[in-house]
Structure 1
Amino acid sequence: MSFLKITNLRKSYGALEILKNINLEIEEGGFLVLVGPSGCGKSTLLNTIAGLEPISSGEIAINGRNVADLPPSKRDIAMVFQSYALYPNMTVAGNIAFGMEIRGVPKDEREKAIKEVADMLQIGHLLDRKPGQLSGGQRQRVAMGRALVRNPQVFLFDEPLSNLDAKLRVDMRTEIKRLHQRMKTTIVYVTHDQIEAMTLATKIAVLRDGILQQFGSPAEIYNNPANMFVADFMGSPAMNLLSATIEKNGDALQVSLERPNAAPLKLPVAPGRDALAGYVGKQVIFGIRPEALTDPDGADRNAQTIAEGDCAIEVVEPAGSDTFAVTKLGMKEVVARLRADAKIAAGQVARLAFNLDKAVFFDPQSQSRIA
């Protein structure tokens, strides 16, 4: 049964529609990440769940109860903001306890809850300090602690790591994942960082211009993007999206990719892509992730359809655990992800392996997935 269910939700400011018929649901203990570019409506959607923004129409149900018309205090949610929103004149303990004091929780219960949360977040040694004496990561832990002591039905996180430096973001991401695994509380988390979305979520909702583009598990979103926007937005480096032509090759299909100063590269289409039969002789967008385009020795030996082709290498970028190579196909730059010790150099023609089990195809007009 869905624990948090959003049905036909719309949000408008006058004539401007911000959220357009959003439908989402997450099971109890799930981790739903709302992701998309700036201005896509993800923070507005979070605020409607919190009750900070009224909805124009639709329903928000938590544990089977419609809360759309209830004030935030009646929804049994707790929110962690991007800005931490700590009281600078209070100690860490005071900040964590403040909400409990307002609700009249007895002192001994408050102190017990503070200790449990402080131990969980490893901030017990900071309880007597003021926020101004803390690092960004420590302040974020305090903000999380203040939410955790409420023991709500749903936690809401609004870009909580965006003010932290890159290394601390990775560390805090791990802490949030560990916290979720331990507490098994339902979480809705907003970010514009698709790496955060992939690593934290049990379900991802990709938004663009107030429209839900795709909703599914991280693996579904990554491997089976519904359209070109999702394919391009999710993944780092992004999916290669190339103009190609579908051709007949006997009884089978093949994809033809233009190459500079060379004949087109012909690659077989993996079995099960029957929808492409209607595109023979037509242009499509051929999508392949960098890790599915590699040196032949590094190709996935479990793949059913691997094809090799010669490509002129323009740039080589060693990245420690991997080497990235840039070539040109379908009149666009293409990124291949090779093994760290792959023997490859800029200016040479190198043989690359295409894992066509992982290839996807899009209609260039509608930008929707074909196969």
Structure 2
Amino acid sequence: MASLTIENLHKSYGSVEVLKGIDIEIEDGGFLVLVGPSGCGKSTLLNTIAGLEDITSGDIRIGDRSVAGLHPSKRDIAMVFQSYALYPNMSVAQNISFGMEIRGIDKASREKAIRDVADMLQIGQLLDRKPSQLSGGQRQRVAMGRALVRDPMVFLFDEPLSNLDAKLRVDMRTEIKRLHQRMGTTIVYVTHDQIEALTLATKIAVLKDGILQQFGTPAEIYNDPSNMFVADFMGSPSMNLIEATVAKNGSDHAIELESADGSSLSLPVNGLASLADYAGRKIVFGIRPEALTDPEGADRNETRVVEQSCLIEVVEPAGSDTFAVTRLGGKEAIARLRADAKIEPNQQARLAFNMAKAVFFDPESTNRIH
């Protein structure tokens, strides 16, 4: 295995710039997830790593070796495609071993490699079947097995679970996580599913319009988003982004926002000196649904929890949680409550705001206020 370094990478098609100065570094054995909406450039970036697309400028290094300009076969990578790309006329065993056969690896070594990956992926009983006789999840395992026998420096996954149903996606996500933990492989994984990104990655790169918006651990991306796009894109339900006004509160500051009944709520903010520059001005207040909850469900160890009365518009039971919709700053805001929280629509209820988890953004630049 090896580290992967991408330096100031640009990719253009004629006059259209698709990737705009991407800088990413993932350690040996890391799991990098490229995430973003359709058309953000994540698959193009993966293809440049694979060598399927030439780069316009910049560099890509696998370990200490620059692979920019190298043919894909010289890069020591293996790729798992969204479509699986299995040979329909070959058995599972033949699909897995075909690449080794082409490279002239002897039959005994091929058969051992097939047995090893079949045991690892639990597909030993499928080795004699053709792809047409397999389910989507089984085909995905075969495609992964074909990549694993290569024992490459870097594995590349291009939205490998997007063709599977919801339950199978969760199961396969667990399998990929388990596989990474067992093998310590370096993986680059493309998805538009931010839950996949948060659960699988050791590092996440969030892309939008060919620009790297933020690069960090799942916890950093989720808890400390660098701008409003990352805050809104990562998380389900997404972060509540509410217009508020900064006001003086003794020696510190508070934010004031309009509630559903037209009254004003005041929430103290402690220790963020940069809010002084926004006194009397509008900002965007960000708070995750789980940091806006019923008082009994709030973090007992946190001293910066503020309770306020809010008009509840909609209640949505969701099994392990109950979601409540209120209106703050003229926008719908979602609170995540305990499953047995006593709450009714069209009534006032006490909600607890965990201000230790709150973040703030400049409404013009959309960047985080630190």
The TM-score with structure 1 as length reference comes to: 0.99
| Partner of residue 44, structure 1 | 44
Shift of 1:349: 0.2
- In the alignment, the residues of structure 2 paired with residue 262 and residue 283 of structure 1 have an alpha-carbon distance, to the nearest angstrom, of 17
Instruction: Give the 3-state SS of the residue equivalent to 2:82 in structure 1.
Output: coil
Shift of 1:142: 0.1
| Partner of residue 286, structure 1 | 285
| Partner of residue 83, structure 2 | 83
| Partner of residue 361, structure 1 | 360
| Partner of residue 71, structure 1 | 71
- In the alignment, the residues of structure 1 paired with residue 107 and residue 221 of structure 2 have an alpha-carbon distance, to the nearest angstrom, of 47
- Describe the superposition over 1:39-84 as per-residue Cα deviations: whole angstroms up to 9, x where unpaired: 0000000000000000000000001100001100000000000000
Within a 5 Å distance, the mapping from 1:163-242 to structure 2 comes to: 163-242=163-242
| Partner of residue 103, structure 1 | 103
- In the alignment, the residues of structure 2 paired with residue 275 and residue 352 of structure 1 have an alpha-carbon distance, to the nearest angstrom, of 27
Q: Are the counterparts in 1 of residues 260 and 310 from structure 2 also a CA contact under 8 Å? A: no
| Partner of residue 116, structure 1 | 116
The TM-score with structure 2 as length reference comes to: 0.99
Shift of 1:304: 2.7
- In the alignment, the residues of structure 2 paired with residue 227 and residue 308 of structure 1 have an alpha-carbon distance, to the nearest angstrom, of 27
Instruction: Give the 3-state SS of the residue equivalent to 2:263 in structure 1.
Output: strand
Instruction: Give the 3-state SS of the residue equivalent to 1:179 in structure 2.
Output: helix
Shift of 1:323: 0.2
Are 1:303 and 2:309 an aligned pair?
A: no
| Partner of residue 276, structure 2 | 277
- In the alignment, the residues of structure 2 paired with residue 26 and residue 294 of structure 1 have an alpha-carbon distance, to the nearest angstrom, of 36
Q: Which residue identity lines up with residue 244 of structure 1 in the other structure?
A: A
Q: Which residue identity lines up with residue 77 of structure 2 in the other structure?
A: I
Shift of 1:260: 3.2
Q: Which residue identity lines up with residue 273 of structure 1 in the other structure?
A: L
- Describe the superposition over 1:142-186 as per-residue Cα deviations: whole angstroms up to 9, x where unpaired: 000000000000000000000000000000000000000000010
- In the alignment, the residues of structure 2 paired with residue 61 and residue 274 of structure 1 have an alpha-carbon distance, to the nearest angstrom, of 41
Instruction: Give the 3-state SS of the residue equivalent to 1:314 in structure 2.
Output: strand
Q: Please, which runs of 5 or more residues in structure 1 have no aligned partner? A: none
- In the alignment, the residues of structure 2 paired with residue 149 and residue 136 of structure 1 have an alpha-carbon distance, to the nearest angstrom, of 20
Shift of 1:12: 0.2
Instruction: Give the 3-state SS of the residue equivalent to 1:313 in structure 2.
Output: strand
What percentage of aligned pairs have identical amino acids?
Answer: 75
- In the alignment, the residues of structure 2 paired with residue 285 and residue 3 of structure 1 have an alpha-carbon distance, to the nearest angstrom, of 38
- Describe the superposition over 1:108-139 as per-residue Cα deviations: whole angstroms up to 9, x where unpaired: 00000000000000000000000000000000
Q: Are the counterparts in 1 of residues 260 and 326 from structure 2 also a CA contact under 8 Å? A: no
- In the alignment, the residues of structure 2 paired with residue 125 and residue 252 of structure 1 have an alpha-carbon distance, to the nearest angstrom, of 67
- In the alignment, the residues of structure 2 paired with residue 304 and residue 66 of structure 1 have an alpha-carbon distance, to the nearest angstrom, of 51
Q: Which residue identity lines up with residue 45 of structure 1 in the other structure?
A: L
- Describe the superposition over 1:312-335 as per-residue Cα deviations: whole angstroms up to 9, x where unpaired: 000000000000000001000000
Q: Are the counterparts in 1 of residues 12 and 18 from structure 2 also a CA contact under 8 Å? A: yes
- In the alignment, the residues of structure 1 paired with residue 49 and residue 302 of structure 2 have an alpha-carbon distance, to the nearest angstrom, of 43
Instruction: Give the 3-state SS of the residue equivalent to 1:119 in structure 2.
Output: helix
Instruction: Give the 3-state SS of the residue equivalent to 1:215 in structure 2.
Output: strand
Instruction: Give the 3-state SS of the residue equivalent to 1:182 in structure 2.
Output: helix
Q: Please, which runs of 5 or more residues in structure 2 have no aligned partner? A: none
- In the alignment, the residues of structure 1 paired with residue 271 and residue 93 of structure 2 have an alpha-carbon distance, to the nearest angstrom, of 59
Runs of 4+ in 1 over 3 A off after TM superposition: none
- In the alignment, the residues of structure 2 paired with residue 300 and residue 260 of structure 1 have an alpha-carbon distance, to the nearest angstrom, of 25
| Partner of residue 142, structure 2 | 142
Instruction: Give the 3-state SS of the residue equivalent to 2:3 in structure 1.
Output: strand
| Partner of residue 347, structure 2 | 348
- In the alignment, the residues of structure 2 paired with residue 370 and residue 28 of structure 1 have an alpha-carbon distance, to the nearest angstrom, of 33
- In the alignment, the residues of structure 2 paired with residue 148 and residue 275 of structure 1 have an alpha-carbon distance, to the nearest angstrom, of 50
Shift of 1:250: 1.3
Shift of 1:262: 3.7
| Partner of residue 318, structure 1 | 317
Shift of 1:261: 2.8
| Partner of residue 268, structure 1 | 268
- In the alignment, the residues of structure 2 paired with residue 304 and residue 26 of structure 1 have an alpha-carbon distance, to the nearest angstrom, of 37
- In the alignment, the residues of structure 2 paired with residue 272 and residue 60 of structure 1 have an alpha-carbon distance, to the nearest angstrom, of 41
| CA RMSD across the alignment | 0.7
- Describe the superposition over 1:190-235 as per-residue Cα deviations: whole angstroms up to 9, x where unpaired: 0000000000000000000000000000000000000000000000
